[in-house]
Structure 1
Amino acid sequence: MPAAVAQVFTTDELLVRPAPAPDYLSEKLALQDLASNMADHPAEVLPRLVRLSMEACDADSAGVSVLDGDVFRWNSLVGKLSVFEGATTPRSFSPCGVCLDQSSPILMERPERAYSWIAEANITVPEVLLVPLLRNGTIPVGTLWVVAKEGHKFHSGHARVLSEMAVFTGIALQMIHADLNLKKALEAQEILANEMSHRVKNLFVVTGAMIKMTARYTETKEELAEALTGRLNALSDAHSLVRRSFNAGNALKGVDMAEAIRTVLRPYTMPDLNGPMVSLGERSTNSIALVFHELATNAAKYGALRDDGKVAVAWRIENENVDIVWREIGKPVEAPAQLGFGSNLVASTIASHNGRIDYDWSRNGLVIKVQIPLANLAN
């Protein structure tokens, strides 16, 4: 313990100061009243506990300091120090920190002599009595404390009462914590239900449009079935990626573009992928899946993948854009007289994200360059 803190540490005084006979009946009735209200209104019990602690100790102020990382946050303050509600104090440089380190009630006299932040706040503390707050009886979560009136001294009776109050305060904090977790879980469940409803509706819309557009460019039911099956499988793979990411936490997390490309191309080839992490939102995950499914399908029908060629996909982030290069290595591809449905689908999908696509019908293999704003892929 630092020398300055040791000079204001007066816990031993609690053992030698005379204490009146305890009024067990009044204490029992007060605690019974608190217990009866705790189950239904735990958040309302905490201020009552603090006020009872102040009255039982005939103190000037009282409050709870809840441990929040490396600081204590003042909560439910009553008395003259109530104006400091919500203030924070450092865990490593405060009477509350010493109390948790000692894991027992402590007493300090004029702690502003040891802690500059108390003096700088113009707080006068004749004496402060603190007891640790424990969750589940073992986990330190903060302190319950009372500040003495000028000329008043705390004794062992006050420490005993405050320790009993601390047990109830710890339980109240635990119940408040559980209640908040329950509310968060219910909110997350509602968000999940709304999100799933939204995604299912979107899939129906996309599927309906795909059926209509595919029907215009196919002549037989077999061609229609084959084209639709591939595109729906690509959508299904993309949907699975988004669902797996969603279930990993309480919020929808982005899908890595490399994973989306690899998943969609797996039935066709093992692509050579090279590029930084790009996080895709749900809509852009579906879009990227459809685009690369169409590119792979065309490569398998007319391009490099028709004759055991290879596909390389590289991308980089530059000027807030993602520049993607699809490169077919193998059989050269002649430019078509007109773009088919698949190519039009690719172009319209990229355009929906304010992107652009360019084709280079090279003798060494088709090269396709795509540019999409990074923000439009993430959202």
Structure 2
Amino acid sequence: MPSDIYITEQLDRRGETRTDYLREKDALHDLAGRMLGTPEEVLPRFVELAMQITGGISAGLSLYEETPSPGVFRWCYLRGLLSSFEGALAPRNDSPCGVTLDEGRPVLASHPERYYGWIADAGIAVPEALLVPLHFSGSEPIGTLWIIAAEEGHFNAGHARAAAELAHFAGIAVRMLESQRQLKSALEQQEMLAREMGHRVNNLFTVAQSLVQLTARTSANKDEMAETLIGRFSALARAHALVRRTFGIQAEHCHELRDLLRTIVEPHENHVFPTGRFALNGPSLVLGERSLNGMALVFHELTTNAVKYGGLASDAGRVEIEWRESEEGLLEIVWTEIGGREIAETPELNGFGSKLLRDTITRQFGGTLEKSWARSGLTARITLPRKNLIH
């Protein structure tokens, strides 16, 4: 740690300016009141108060994020001269904020741009910076408060003490906001699961009815129909088990894309066709555990829609599924329904299932989905980054 950059010992040497304790007390009361009523306003107000009480020209929070390793600081709630850098990232192990976390106490830095190239490259001049770690109930530091002065020799021990007291409240506020975000996310996830379960149950009844009708038309007698139905319902159960949300529950593993597809389409096979109703063409492709779940959901939804509205709504319908890997690291999948009964008009698929299909492709996998309807059914083109399928 360069001694000409980090001059923390000078805080105690400088004469402390007259402390306005009433102002500090009012500031703490203000923050406490906002934490109870409007916690989302605490952090912006906290930064403003820290800058005002210490006489800085700019201030902000650098909140620590563990990924990507070894972590970064994200600049948040910036005020004053450097407010345009809101959302900027700084390296954990190559920044004054990182030194502050390592020290675990207030740190004073003089012209850190002389040592940190990324600060100089951003065109930032820092005559003097006071940095204070943010804690929550004795836990590991979660970030830092930093305040910039307009000139060297500005900050003293009184400024460091006041900033540290404010930082205690800021640490609590950060944790409160994070808890609120986690609770909101959990509630949204619970609502999504409930809607998805209802959607899948409705689809299951539709698919079961289709299987009974298909089996009745192609069976010679009731015994053959019963045997065939038992096999198809067992296959449907295996396909349904692939689409799960809880990874603590062990389900059937099917890490090869081709095996996954066979499991999902098997209940809908009609062996009147010499080669079956489904043509699967593509190279060997191994899926990760989490991507397996998402891909199962995608093809389960496509298959169900084909049974209800598209190419599999008639006995003559077939589906071709082709996939290939591009040189750009993309997996390209084409789902084509052919030979089914003619579709008079394009189905209006704007419900939860369509949203679930698109969200899985775009949000979970970062891919794209293009759909076009012909008279015999749907053609869907799915493009996914290959790297997002290995987890």
Fold in common (TM above 0.5): yes
Deviates more, 1:68-77 or 1:232-241: 232-241
Deviates more, 1:211-220 or 1:108-117: 211-220
TM-superposed deviation, 1:256:
4.6
Q: Which residue of 2 aligns with 1:166?
A: 167
Render the CA deviation track for 1:72-103: whole Å, top value 9, x for unaligned: 11111101111111111111111111111111
Say whether the 8 Å CA contact 1:255–1:280 is kept in structure 2: no
Give the whole-Å Cα distance in 1 for the aligned partners of 2:243 and 2:225. 27
Say whether the 8 Å CA contact 2:35–2:42 is kept in structure 1: yes
Q: Which residue of 2 aligns with 1:107?
A: 108
Give the whole-Å Cα distance in 1 for the aligned partners of 2:207 and 2:320. 15
1:221–1:348 Cα change, 3 Å: closer
TM-superposed deviation, 1:66:
1.1
1:376–1:280 Cα change, 3 Å: farther
Give the whole-Å Cα distance in 1 for the aligned partners of 2:15 and 2:317. 82
Q: Which residue of 2 aligns with 1:176?
A: 177
1:285–1:28 Cα change, 3 Å: farther
Give the whole-Å Cα distance in 1 for the aligned partners of 2:319 and 2:54. 69
For residue 287 of structure 1, the aligned residue among 242, 265, 280 is 265
Q: Which residue of 1 aligns with 2:130?
A: 129
Unmatched 5+ stretches in structure 1: 259-275, 296-314, 321-344, 356-372
Q: Which residue of 2 aligns with 1:30?
A: 27
* RMSD between superposed Cα atoms in Å: 3.3
Q: Which residue of 2 aligns with 1:240?
A: 241
For 1:150, what is the secondary structure of its paired residue? coil
Say whether the 8 Å CA contact 1:256–1:279 is kept in structure 2: no
1:171–1:348 Cα change, 3 Å: farther
The amino acid that maps onto 1:150 is: E
Q: Which residue of 1 aligns with 2:117?
A: 116
Unmatched 5+ stretches in structure 2: 272-279, 286-311, 323-331, 337-360, 362-381, 383-391
- Whether 1:42 and 2:32 are equivalent positions in the alignment is no
Higher Rg of the two aligned structures: 1
The amino acid that maps onto 2:246 is: N
Render the CA deviation track for 1:306-362: whole Å, top value 9, x for unaligned: xxxxxxxxx994399xxxxxxxxxxxxxxxxxxxxxxxx9x969923447xxxxxxx
1:56–1:66 Cα change, 3 Å: same
TM-superposed deviation, 1:215:
2.2
TM-score for both structures, normalised by structure 2: 0.65
TM-superposed deviation, 1:55:
0.3
Q: Percent identity?
A: 44
Q: Which residue of 2 aligns with 1:71?
A: 72
Q: Which residue of 2 aligns with 1:318?
A: 283
For 1:138, what is the secondary structure of its paired residue? coil
TM-superposed deviation, 1:61:
0.7
TM-superposed deviation, 1:222:
4.4
Q: Which residue of 2 aligns with 1:352?
A: 319
Give the whole-Å Cα distance in 2 for the aligned partners of 1:278 and 1:209. 24
For 2:142, what is the secondary structure of its paired residue? strand
Say whether the 8 Å CA contact 2:127–2:148 is kept in structure 1: yes
Q: Which residue of 1 aligns with 2:385?
A: none
1:43–1:285 Cα change, 3 Å: farther
For residue 7 of structure 2, the aligned residue among 1, 6, 10 is 10
Give the whole-Å Cα distance in 2 for the aligned partners of 1:139 and 1:285. 47
Give the whole-Å Cα distance in 1 for the aligned partners of 2:281 and 2:221. 41
Give the whole-Å Cα distance in 2 for the aligned partners of 1:123 and 1:193. 50
1:232–1:240 Cα change, 3 Å: same
Say whether the 8 Å CA contact 2:59–2:146 is kept in structure 1: yes
TM-score for both structures, normalised by structure 1: 0.67
Say whether the 8 Å CA contact 2:257–2:284 is kept in structure 1: no
Give the whole-Å Cα distance in 2 for the aligned partners of 1:34 and 1:221. 76
